[in-house]
Amino acid sequence: MQILVVEDDESVAAGVVEGLTRAGFAASHVATGGHALDTVRDSCPDFVLLDLGLPDMDGTDVCRAVRALTATPIIVVSARDEEIDRVLALELGADDYLVKPFGMRELIARIRAVARRTDERVPDGQPDAFNRNLGGLSIDQRSRRVVLDGVEVRLTAKEFELLYYLAEDPGAVFQRREILRAVWDSDWYGTTKTVDAHVAAIRKKLGDPRWIEAVRGVGFRLGIPG
């Protein structure tokens, strides 16, 4: 699925594009409403994430214009949190509305929910993009079940979310702060040691510390023992 991110804040856009890429989506970025409309006309992306505070035109006008051009799903992502803003965007054709600041997990969940409603294809090129299968380890997001070599492993909610997050890009190293932002959301201000504690608990339940490898001074990555 090709997602167009329409966002004038370069740092926000970079974080969103990186998060979408890690989740298996193809993402591109434009910073203005004019460029967004040109991109929709020329390449017809599968999905549009639209900020309302754009430098050249109001995002509601972009939403209206995109909807006039195509049935491509639109999720408005904006700092505007008044009910009238949400209602107006939805009435102009947006499929969902997410208020900043937000967590990538919620954004990706909303994309997938809208995609299911509009019959768009979810990423990963597999019948069920919510499953992660690595060696003898199976992680099912929908049922929130983890099975290792045919035996179910019971994890807490945060343990599951942490394991699933690492499994989105096996072998990649995730920094502790990155994990905190993704799993504990952007409003977490506690110590990073909570990540280490949850990793230790997951390792114990999986029965082999090699499933989650520590990278000294950086963070953790999901490995496959053997």
Per residue of the chain (226 residues), what is the pLDDT tens digit? 899 999 999 999 999 999 998 888 899 999 999 999 999 999 889 899 999 999 999 999 999 999 888 888 999 999 998 888 888 998 888 988 999 988 888 898 888 878 877 654 444 444 444 577 888 899 987 778 899 998 999 988 888 889 988 988 888 899 888 888 778 764 455 566 888 999 999 999 999 999 999 998 889 999 888 6
Tell me the pTM. 0.56
Q: Give the sign of the dihedral formed by CA 220, CA 132, CA 186, CA 32.
A: positive
The three-class DSSP label of residue 85 is helix
Bridge partner residues of 3 (DSSP): 27, 47
CA distance 171 to 220: 9
Under 8 Å between Cβ of 35 and 29: no
- Taken in order of first residue, the domains within the chain and their CATH numbers are 2-117 (3.40.50.2300), 131-222 (1.10.10.10)
